[in-house]
Amino acid sequence: MGLPGRAARQYQARMLRRSATLALLFCLAACGERSDAPQTQRVQLQEAGPEPADAEPSPDTAAATWHVSERGQAISFGNEGAPPLMTLACDLESSPPVLAVIRHARALPGQGALFPVMGNGMTSRFLVDATLGQTDNGAEWHWEARLPASDPQWDVFAGPNELEATLPGRGMLAIAGSRIPGEFVEWCRAGGQQAPVAGESNEAADEPEPAQ
């Protein structure tokens, strides 16, 4: 049997008030959770990483020249009697031959950078990595990129004009115009079959002596 009419109306009123109360409590609880929730904060990766190394000034290259290694498979740019600043090396054992550009500057394992070289009507951008290599002064960490000698990026060295080679944080190399880099690139591309490259220090010996 159902409840009498008056009792049924009272029961329905109590149920409505109970439902309204529960709905209000749920609403307040949800609002409280949203207001107390911590705010999300974005952090840029570069802000979370280590601080960049201090920048170094550009080396003085006013008197710097190109020098050919004893084996003839590399040329280095630098000041007389000082460690080289940049080297071009040819790996003839690779097939096809491979050229490497080395920027002798402070580097740490795992680092990488973009090394733009500008000159002879073009700009080449070499992706260099921190590399452990052997030099005349022993092992060193330097910046190095290796590409096939046929790669068109090497054409930046293929003319006699001035060059600018910039490594972020390690300064810019102002390189006076010279025939040596272009001759070396062509020698490497030919697999070492052409005449060997002579260094700039030998150019004066080729000039005729003035008449007495």
pLDDT, tens digit, 9 for 90 and up, residues 75-110? 999 999 999 999 999 999 999 999 999 999 999 999
180 vs 160: CA distance, rounded Å: 8
pLDDT, tens digit, 9 for 90 and up, residues 171-209? 999 999 999 999 999 999 999 988 888 877 544 334 444
**CB-CB contact of 170 with 37 (8 Å):** no
Task: Please give the average per-residue pLDDT across 63-71, as a whole number.
Answer: 95
pLDDT, tens digit, 9 for 90 and up, residues 127-142? 999 999 887 767 899 9
The single-letter code of the amino acid at 62 is: A
Coil, strand, or helix at residue 89? strand
pLDDT attached to residue 134: 82
Choose among 192, 170, 171, 89: nearest CA to 134.
Answer: 89
Q: Which fold has domain 67-191?
A: Immunoglobulin-like (2.60.40)
Per-domain residue ranges for the chain? 67-191
pLDDT attached to residue 120: 97
